[in-house]
Structures are given as structure tokens and as C-alpha cells.
Amino acid sequence: MKPPATSTHTQSVILFILEGIDRHSLKIGPMPTLNRLAIEGATTWSAHTVAPPLRLPAMASLLTGLPVDQHGITWNTFEFSRGYPRPPTLFDYLDLSGGLDSAIFFMDESLYQLAKPAPYTDYQVCGILRPECSPDRLVAYIRQYVKKASSGHGYGHAVLALPHLLVVHLPTPERAGTAHGWASKEYRDALRSVDQAMKATLDLFKEHGLLAHTTIFVTALNGTGVGQSPTAGAKAPTTRDSPLVPWIVSGAGIKVGHTIQQPVSILDTGATVMRALAVDTHTEWESRVVEEVFQNPPAVTSALSTSR
């Protein structure tokens, strides 16, 4: 059966950032939500991440659109004394170019390093230091956030309405695979929990009447068999030795059943998110729009026409 046609007008973007996921994962455990997004959208399973693909440097590259040797974050734990990254992030560019807000849900304390306070971002961070933190709990936080943000009274002190970009970090498969093995029951359970969390998030947007005008991105910081010990000197994803991860775009404005032909890096995520939200910026980052995933030519608009 042919998937239903999607709206071409994007009002919201959900960016799922996974860990410990690649093509091999689908042989270990079923992920129906991920599979559906891949089938109904534009997909490559051969996107490059950074090398070595450590959580904090890789996330910094994804958000700044810069290789590790340019953004300079080579460590893999939160170090208060080092402060926040100097380069602007996707969240800064969305505000600067379109007045757009972001809500970010991280599932690891190391990512406090990237949680720079700003009036256009809301961050929530939980991780292994909080045993109750799980994909299910993260979805509960998102549900609470969306309920408050859609109430008309704002949420917290920053974003006063539903954000244009929702970032959902789900690293559980990497943790399970590293601790128990990439064919273990624990890894299969982690794949299932992440897939269910993705479905629950999409269902939440559907409940609020947002899904038809939402573009969904799914990628990963690392694939299977990747360790997490801190390693300095990570290199840019410019060689064939860089690990390969999924990079999937589905939903509003995206081609259906399209196999991406051009080379893709996780660095390209930021520029493509901005293209989906019809805002443009002239920056020094190395993020490039993966133009072939879109149904229509670019139509960059002003902040006034894109803000809610």
C-alpha cells in the first residue's frame, strides 16, 4: 500500500538523535516506527558521523555543523571549567534567522556542556546519574512540556509556546550494546524502548494536531560496537573510515520512499532542518542542505511568516 501523501508545509521539526543504531540493528530487533519512517520518507543508512564517534564531540558536531577539529570539543564528559562551545549552534541560527524556538531533551549528563542558556531554548537533561531516567521517562517529560507549552501560559522562563524544533536524544541502545553485547537481550530491549519512545512522541504530536505539518529527522551519533571511553583528537567525518549511521527524513514536505543518493554527514542535519523550516542563514559552518529529500524547491521566508 502506498503511504499517504504528506503536507508540504512544515511548522514543526522533531529531531530524534539515537545512539548505537545502524543497519545491523534491524537484524537484532524489530523497530517498526523507525522502519516506517524510513519507508515513508527519504533515507540513507550510510551517513557519516565523526571519528571516533564519542557522544559529546559527535553531538557538538551535529549541532554546530562543524567537524571536531573546528568546534574543539574532544572530551566526552561534562567539564564545568571548559564552559559552553564558542561556535553558534543550530538553535542560535534558528533564532537569528527566523525567530524560531527549540526544546531539547538530552539523556546524558555530559551534554550539559552544550546546554547554553538562551531565551529561545529550553533544555531538560537526565541521564545515568538518575536511575529513573529512561526513554519512557523522557517521553513523560516531553508530554508534560507540550501540555504546558500549549496551555497559552508558557513553559518555564524561556520558550513561551510550542517550540518549532524538538530534539529528542535516545542513547539507550549504545549503553546496552556496550555493556551487554550487540546481540544481547538487553540490546534488543533497548531498541524496542527507543522505538516505542519515538512512536509515543509522534502520537503526542498527532494528539495536538501537529503531526501533519511536522517534518521528522532521525539520525545517530554512533552505530553498533562503539565504546564510550574518552578519546582526544577526534577527526572530521571526511574519510571512508568514519562510522556509518542512519539519516532519515520523513513527513511534511519530504519525498516518499526516496533513497538518498548524495553523500551525507550528520553535520548536514542543521542546514537541512533549517531548510525544512524555510529559514536561511549565511554561516561559517560546514552543514549542507540535503536538497534531494524535499518535494519542492526551497522557499525561504522571513521570521514574521514562520513564527507562530
| The residue type at 27 | K
The reported pLDDT for the residue numbered 205 is 96
Mean pLDDT over 247-275 rounds to: 98
Q: Which three cell numbers stand for residue 282?
A: 549565511
End-to-end CA distance of the chain: 35
The Cα–Cα gap between 274 and 291 comes to 11
* Cell representation of residue 28: 537484532
CA 228: distance to chain centroid? 19
User: What letter represents residue 308's amino acid?
Assistant: R
Quote the pLDDT of residue 153. 66
Residue 128's pLDDT is what?
83
* Residue 178, all three cell numbers: 556496550
Beta-strand relationship, 102-106 and 214-220: unpaired
Give Cβ neighbours of residue 304 (< 8 Å, ≥ 6 apart): none
Confidence of residue 61 (pLDDT cuts 50, 70, 90): very high
Return the bridge partners of 216, or none.
14, 250
- Of the candidates 99, 105, 138, the one whose C-alpha atom is nearest the C-alpha of residue 119 is 99
Q: What is the pTM of this model?
A: 0.89
User: Who contacts 207 (Cβ-Cβ below 8 Å, separation ≥6)?
Assistant: none
Round the average pLDDT of the chain to a whole number and report it. Answer: 87
CB count in 10 Å sphere of residue 291 = 12
Q: What is the pLDDT of residues 113-168, one digit of tens each?
A: 999 999 999 999 998 888 889 999 999 999 999 988 887 665 554 556 789 999 99
In a 3-state reduction of DSSP, which class is residue 251? strand
Confidence (pLDDT) at 38: 98
Cβ-Cβ contacts under 8 Å for 153 (sequence gap 6 or more): none
Question: Would you state the CATH architecture of domain 12-306?
Answer: 3-Layer(aba) Sandwich (3.40)
